[in-house]
Structure 1
């Protein structure tokens, strides 16, 4: 019985529409191995007409025409296996065309992936600002232990607070600077450092958990898993680097050094801040790239052009655009180096010297014997005189930061001015022009913040805003670079497939 064959999972190999119209009792016997296709369809037509009437004949006659080119030697086999109750390929003429290329297309990250990466970059932005405030309020040395799990919970009882305060009393910072602190004063700096550490841990969770989810669900473009795994590892290393930085300010050797100030190493501070900048730029740039790739794949939009098309191919091949892109990358590197030099200024409290602008002590530059003092050389022959003054002399550090800041401002202005050139403006993407304007505007704001911070002796609000401004300037440059990026390979493949499908549909 055919009903019995169906119950045991026997199905026809070539799945067609007629296979879903059959009812139990249609046939009495079937040969299990192979039968002639034309003979089978003729029998189906006769039995269907007896059961369902003449309305069943047209589709079966169509199937007869479909199988008519077959020779008498071609057979269809009855095979064992569970059949799906519904197969959309048989109900839409375009479904087969849409599914066939989709199975061969690479994975294209959807907008939620871009949103997650951009949100993660905002968290890094926040932790950079909070870290700057922690440094400015001298709160970073209030927690003397690194407990990644247990440290997430602050002291809850008075006894626990007294225990933490006793640990802080043993640090050089308390003995040399804060020996008059009470438990209440200690709580203020403790909560600032604790908030900074907890926010760092939250970033790790907010990044790693969605990364695992998107990786398991195969929502990441082929190159993303490797890059994002590297970022996740860097987040973990950032926590270890932060503790390594704090340890430099807790060493008892500071008590034995005449005139020493209990603070963290400027080298470790710069490494900690520089890593945060790299993480921020990496997350933001990757998130924007994923978002722009999706828009290009689905709508053909690129670079802010209103009409869809392949403008990026001709735009990116233009020599003027290539030179503009190289200049933009060089400026981004200069912005990063300038921000990193600011970490040395903060680590050495160099902003408290020469609180005037543009002069330093009534002249454009301090005396050479002050910029390259032999007091900072540790080798008898003075072989380390130059580099130690550059990184350890507060006067030289401030002078270098000023020079880098002025160079960054001039370079940003020149990049903006180049966009006013009619030849370049005619081929420059609209989005790139907008971010060139935004970069120059942010550079002006950053210069004003820097000068104000210097003139007003580094007040915490202005200094924190100045550090946040450096991140914002880097943000505009990342946007500018991404606007000149060609669509990814996955986006190009999807775009081509969709265009091909639309062409066939017409």
Structure 2
């Protein structure tokens, strides 16, 4: 009989806590973007930056640094110190959560390694989140740095999408690692057809999240604030305005918003088919219902967010944050479905 490493409850709780922290930073990151706060801290100081300015003079010094970047003159020329503090704390909270996540993974990892509580046969997978979290910190500064350059008033939406995508990858790795650990890293009992369908579904959810990041990064949600049409047409007139044609998917506001909408329709339709195809499996039924429920909720939120219009209206910010937070649950449920298809019970 194969001697599998037994799961450790403390390790399971640790991974869950880090997962919750990653979910929190995704939402705080969304709030930072929606309040236009991401460029308020113009330096990368992982240690020194853990504390906010502690005196009036220090606050003035930080404000003066912000006044030197293009965003201040273009978008906040009338901002006072109180307004600067408001956006500063959004970005500071985002970076502080990043530091907390790094420590929340690193310190218990060292402790569990020294105490030999991590499985001997499957130790290496526990290194992956540590590497990805460190990489995410570098990606975060790479993203912010793009917005500090001459002629830029926002961060690069390509780098924003990379940063958000990595956050979801870290969340997914943590989820899968925890499930594997709780299951003792036992060999899987795979239902081949369910595995393929749920894997494709998970990939589609991730692609849709990245498409949402492009909408956010290019502020494409500020236009075409109607549904189901876009300026009176299903496909907006300006969809292919850029040349070469492929560039529209990444730079054209009309195309970016349409693609996000259309991918949502495709994703929802595919999810309906996947869940219908598994309707006879009592084992998969509950997760299928859960997925359809959260997708229906997410589509409704997306429409409401779009119709709310103004990106800086408090009601819009609340809806947009809820939409991003709900995307986390769509992602987790899709992962749960993929996991169950690999541990199939007939």
Length-normalised TM-score, structure 1: 0.64
Tell me: CA distance 1:443–1:402, structure 2 relative to 1, closer, same or farther (3 Å). same
Match of 2:286 in 1: 434
Measured on the aligned residues, the alpha-carbon RMSD in Å equals 1.9
Shift of residue 456 of structure 1? 0.7
State the shift of 1:225 in Å: 2.7
Q: Deviations over 1:244-268 (max 9, x none)?
A: 10111111133xxxxxxx1110100
Give runs of aligned pairs for residues 58-137 of structure 1, distance below 5 A: 105-137=3-35
**Where do 5+ consecutive residues of structure 1 fail to align?**
1-100, 255-261, 298-311, 378-384, 488-506
Using the TM superposition, give the Cα deviation of residue 324 of structure 1 relative to its aligned residue in structure 2, in angstroms: 1.7
Query: Is structure 2 residue 176 aligned with structure 1 residue 288?
Result: no
Select which of 268, 273, 286 maps to 2:159: 268
- Superposition deviation, residue 215 in structure 1: 1.8
1:229, CA displacement in angstroms?
1.2
Q: 5+ residue gaps in structure 2?
A: none
**2-structure distance, mates of 1:208, 1:225:** 14
Preserved CA contact (<8 Å) 1:289 1:482: no
Report how far residue 110 of structure 1 moved. 1.1
1:366 aligned onto 2:236: yes
Give the aligned partner of residue 330 of structure 1: 200
CA offset digits 1:92-142 (Å, max 9, x no partner): xxxxxxxxx9xx935333122122112111110000000001000000010
- Taking a change above 3 Å as real, the CA distance of residues 272 and 168 of structure 1, as seen in their structure-2 partners, is same
> 2:300 is matched with which residue?
448
For 1:239-318, what aligned pairs fall within 5 Å after superposition?
239-254=137-152, 262-293=153-184, 316=190
- Distance across 1 between alignment mates of 2:199 and 2:19: 20
Once residues 264 and 152 of structure 1 are traced to their aligned partners in structure 2, the CA distance between those partners, rounded to angstroms, is 22
Q: Distance between the aligned counterparts of 2:183 and 2:294, measured in 1?
A: 23
Instruction: Give the CA deviation at 1:213.
Output: 1.6
- Partner-residue secondary structure (3-state), 2:342: coil
Verify the 8 A CA contact 2:194 2:341 in the aligned structure 1. no
Provide the aligned length of Structure 1 versus Structure 2.
339
Query: What is the SS of the residue equivalent to 1:398?
Result: helix
Runs of 4+ residues deviating >6 angstroms:
none
User: Secondary structure in 1 aligned to 2:42?
Assistant: coil
Counterpart-to-counterpart distance in 1, 2:338 and 2:252: 35
Q: Which has the higher contact order (CA 8 A, sep 6+)?
A: 2
**Would you say 1:343 and 2:181 are equivalent positions?**
no
SS in 2 for 1:484: helix
Deviations 1:267-302 (A, max 9, x none): 0000000000000011012112222339x99xxxxx
Residue 217 of structure 1 deviates from its aligned partner by 2.1
Where do residues 448-467 of structure 1 align in structure 2 (5 Å cutoff)?
Answer: 448-457=300-309, 458=311, 459-467=316-324
- Which structure: larger Rg? 1
2: CA distance, partners of 1:184 / 1:112: 43
Q: Contact 1:248/1:264 (CA < 8 Å) preserved in 2?
A: yes
Query: What does 1:17-36 align with in structure 2 at a 5 Å threshold?
Result: none
Structure 1 match to 2:277: 418
Give the drift of 1:429: 5.5
